[in-house]
Structure 1
């Protein structure tokens, strides 16, 4: 059904004159007459009778009027449901316990009036496809040097997250205050759940290639609690963990979180979004991250060449 014709019918019914309806709608009286005539043909009934006093609703017009108003209200609700700012901003993070979820939580604390819908997608390919189709508004990802962003996708690097070494009390490096990447050569570094080709696996591939580390990605990732359990009991297994997420281990674990230096490996996080996305909360998030994000490319840090 032609909603412009329905809207014109409601205006004519409210004003009682086609000319007044035309004035309200900023169209000609001829346009009003044409729209209503088309609606009458579609419904196969007369909606108005013309009198000296103007236009009066027929009995069919009176029956149709409340439904016409409901159609206009439904149209308004449909438009409002997707109008920028009227729905929650949908943002993807890799996992909830991550540096990006920390940044997103701080944004929410700074702007509690902004509705957020936080989702977790598996990898950058899935996330970028979701950004392109509008399934999500933005995603936090590592953009590997070999990745070319699709047309219409923008990226802004918002955080270089320092990686620390995590070891148990019986590990040979447990007593160190800092360790260098050179000192890690020959030690087993366990990062479970590494899937070849995903962005975090590409990052560690570059780290291994440049510094000769031994990174073991075997086994599924059952979460940080399982990772800490294994490391706490081992004398030869260590891991690399980001600085932002808080890891709460039990007293019996006695884990050690040791800064890595010379250089310090950092994991670069970027926010990616579709250029044409006009959601006002996305602009707020970008401004917040630009004002509060940590500087990138700090002296003494390492990221893959070209990142």
Structure 2
């Protein structure tokens, strides 16, 4: 069905005159007549009858009118969904409690007029595929992990380096420390359930453990952050790493401690990935906001040799 013919039909039905519809649509009256005639042939029904003042819908025309209006609404929404500036800026933040989510909340406060759609994709392969297909506009990731170069049509801009703290329970040997050198964590069990093989954060912690002789365990099911906090609070032998921007709430009775790690300071590198040809008009504003909000990494920061930051 020709949507322009449907649009013309609705204009005639609402104005009651072919000439008025032609003026509203900025086409000739002859074009209006041809479109309506073509639509009547497609539908096999007469849509208008003439009156002394113009035209009015026939019984069939009256039955078709609400459906025609709905067709046009759906078509307009479909076009707006892919039109730059006509749809929300879709950004993948990986999880809702980390640095990326904090940065997007800050952007939203600074640019309340930009409509956002926040998604959380687990695998970097899914994020890359979504960026290349246009399903999302940007993704916060650590790049470029070993063996996973970015496709040529994607680009990555480092946006922040998030310091890692050691989180311990009150009975842990390092709970009272004001800070702890990274090398001194060798021999302590660091428990991080949920590390996925092949993920960029898995590659990060693998490099960290290898570089400093750390024992990072990911055994056991991942029941989420609440279960992690319960276990760390109750198990003196275990600690975990937590990003400085990770916002978790726990009961004061847990006695959990955040201990800064130093010499060097491990930082997690966050970059914003996007397609080189993405035309969304809000992307430049997001990049400018992230550049202004970025916290410089400490002079003695550590990141894997493959990471951009």
TM-score normalized by structure 2? 0.82
Q: What is residue 305 of structure 1 aligned with on the other side? A: 305
Aligned counterparts, 1:278-293, within 5 A: 278-293=279-294
CA distance in 2, matches of 1:138, 1:227: 30
Shift in Å at residue 194 of structure 1?
A: 1.7
Q: What is residue 171 of structure 2 aligned with on the other side? A: 170
Aligned counterparts, 1:1-307, within 5 A: 1-11=1-11, 14=15, 16-17=17-18, 25-27=25-27, 31-47=31-47, 56=55, 59=58, 63=62, 66-67=65-66, 68-146=68-146, 147-296=148-297, 298-307=298-307
1:26-78 Cα deviation digits (max 9, x unpaired): 55565445433322322334556899x99745746854773445543443344
Shift in Å at residue 86 of structure 1?
A: 4.5
CA distance in 2, matches of 1:191, 1:215: 7
Asked if the contact 1:191–1:240 (Cα under 8 Å) also holds between the matched residues in 2, the reply is yes
| C-alpha distance 205-43 of structure 1, shift in aligned 2 (>3 A) | same
Shift in Å at residue 161 of structure 1?
A: 0.3
| C-alpha distance 161-28 of structure 1, shift in aligned 2 (>3 A) | same
After superposing the two structures, state which structure 1 stretch, 125-134 or 27-36, moved more.
Answer: 27-36
1:95-130 Cα deviation digits (max 9, x unpaired): 222122222222233333444333322221222223
CA distance in 1, matches of 2:77, 2:125: 34
| C-alpha distance 79-252 of structure 1, shift in aligned 2 (>3 A) | same
CA distance in 2, matches of 1:62, 1:123: 52
Asked if the contact 1:179–1:261 (Cα under 8 Å) also holds between the matched residues in 2, the reply is yes
TM-score normalized by structure 1? 0.82
Shift in Å at residue 279 of structure 1?
A: 3.6
Shift in Å at residue 269 of structure 1?
A: 0.9
Shift in Å at residue 183 of structure 1?
A: 1.3
Q: Does the residue aligned with 1:252 lie in a helix, a strand or coil?
A: helix
| C-alpha distance 247-7 of structure 1, shift in aligned 2 (>3 A) | closer
Shift in Å at residue 207 of structure 1?
A: 1.1
Count of residues paired in the alignment: 304
Q: Does the residue aligned with 2:72 lie in a helix, a strand or coil?
A: helix
Q: Does the residue aligned with 2:252 lie in a helix, a strand or coil?
A: coil
Asked if the contact 1:10–1:65 (Cα under 8 Å) also holds between the matched residues in 2, the reply is no
Unaligned runs of 5+ in 2: none
Shift in Å at residue 267 of structure 1?
A: 0.3
| C-alpha distance 36-255 of structure 1, shift in aligned 2 (>3 A) | closer
Asked if the contact 2:181–2:264 (Cα under 8 Å) also holds between the matched residues in 1, the reply is yes
1:243-283 Cα deviation digits (max 9, x unpaired): 11234343333333221111111001122233444444444
After superposing the two structures, state which structure 1 stretch, 177-186 or 224-233, moved more.
Answer: 224-233
Unaligned runs of 5+ in 1: none
Q: Does the residue aligned with 1:6 lie in a helix, a strand or coil?
A: helix
Asked if the contact 2:16–2:56 (Cα under 8 Å) also holds between the matched residues in 1, the reply is no
After superposing the two structures, state which structure 1 stretch, 53-62 or 163-172, moved more.
Answer: 53-62
